[in-house]
Amino acid sequence: MNSFIEQLQENIQHIKKENIKSVFTIATTSKQEERAYLTPIRKSNFFVVCGCVIFEQSSLMQIIEIIDGKIDYIFVDSEKKIPLRIHSEKNIFDDEIYRQSNTYGYIETGNLSKICFQKIKKSKVFEYKPNDITVNATWSFLSQRLKFLSGKKISILGSGNIGSKLALKLVECGSNVSIYRQNNYKGYGIAQGLNFIKPESTVSSITFHENILQAAFMSDVLIGATNGVSLIDVDTLKSIKKGALIVDLGKNTLTKEAIEYALQNNIEIYRADVTSAFEGFIYEAIKMDEILNHSYGKREMGYCTIVGGGYFGKYGDIVVDSISYPSRIFGVAVGDGTMKKELSSEDALKIARLEKELLCL
């Protein structure tokens, strides 16, 4: 842990040298590993990001002490994927948060975000869902790499959290999705549930196969979404279409022999790169924070009420872009979520006064 902490401190010092917003991510995975590890430093035009993946809640307390106040935005994994290993050091259990937890034990296992919101006082904290970011990044990659998804056969080996969400996203675009899961009972249930959820007008469907080769047969895309289990072997690769694409989402979903076979036969293997989706999410979260703090809500002006940021206004409220710093008027609320198509003389007078006093037009 000492080397991890030392490298973490070095990463913090490195990103603080950049003259842009700093972001730190705290995540965990369902695949348990012995030691926490750091994720690569990524830089965009607007912010620089580094982060870590942890497997014990005790290490979270040490990380918070280092990053709180030194990082502008902290994104913490909100998914309760696993019960994190409980550390038994006395000084950890003496912490107030652990004593207050409404559980049978000392801590609410897996609840990283709750601890961060309670303990971090200086940096801004947001929740995020890494699995959803992986799904969105993979979908975007396939959509642009294949040009269009309709009519493509896409096989997903591993229909857990990521595989199931990706299957639904792909079938909604017209892909014929085949899924495989080692637990047949759950596999059939997942396929049935996803087919119920998909739009009625969607002709394509999700099919569960008990046999991997049947699931992969003549696929345009073969996706490994297992939790580190190497299911994709040479025989599986021989069953897909010539020129098909392999996507490794779960890490180590291909056997060593399968990787060698793919490289020898020019079969393209892609490892999920979440950079685009993650950068987009960070911008989205920061923008939403700005909207909630400055645009969202209602404000009484004496002669009228202004609403903004998506706030549901009552009849006669004036809808603006920001209640704190309005610069645009969108219209007058009807009270049902829409705006008036024709303004009354009273509406026009209120808008004219608002423009004069607040918008300086």
What are the pLDDT digits (tens) for 173-228? 999 999 999 999 999 999 999 999 999 899 999 999 999 999 999 999 999 998 87
Query: 44: how many CB neighbours lie within 10 A of its CB?
Result: 16
pLDDT at 2 over 90: no
Q: Return d(Cα 299, Cα 29) in angstroms, integer.
A: 43
Q: Region 21-34: what's the mean pLDDT?
A: 82
Query: What are the structure tokens assigned to 117, written together?
Result: 């919101």
Instruction: Give the rounded percent of residues in the chain with a pLDDT score beyond 70.
Output: 89
Q: Return d(Cα 11, Cα 29) in angstroms, integer.
A: 21
Q: Return d(Cα 316, Cα 98) in angstroms, integer.
A: 49
Q: Return d(Cα 41, Cα 17) in angstroms, integer.
A: 13
CATH architecture group of domain 132-276: 3-Layer(aba) Sandwich (3.40)
Looking at the DSSP bridge assignments, the partners of residue 25 are 51, 75
Q: Return d(Cα 27, Cα 100) in angstroms, integer.
A: 23
55 to 34, 110, 167: CA distances (angstroms) = 8, 9, 28
Q: Return d(Cα 59, Cα 63) in angstroms, integer.
A: 6
Vertex 224: Cα angle to 219 and 230 (nearest 5): 120
Looking at the DSSP bridge assignments, the partners of residue 223 are 156, 247
Q: Region 339-346: what's the mean pLDDT?
A: 94
Q: Which residue has the tokens 């599986």?
A: 236
pLDDT tens figures, 80-93 = 655 544 454 444 44
Q: Map out the domains of the chain as residue ranges.
A: 2-128, 132-276, 296-359
Phi-psi region of 304 (alpha: psi -120 to 50; beta: other; left: phi over 0): beta
pTM to 2 decimal places: 0.83
pLDDT attached to residue 175? 96
- Amino acid found at 348: A
Long-range contact pairs involving 246-249 (C-beta distance under 8 Å, separation at least 24) = 246/221, 246/222, 246/270, 247/138, 247/141, 247/142, 247/221, 247/222, 247/223, 247/272, 248/224, 248/272, 249/134, 249/138, 249/158, 249/162, 249/163, 249/166, 249/223, 249/224, 249/225
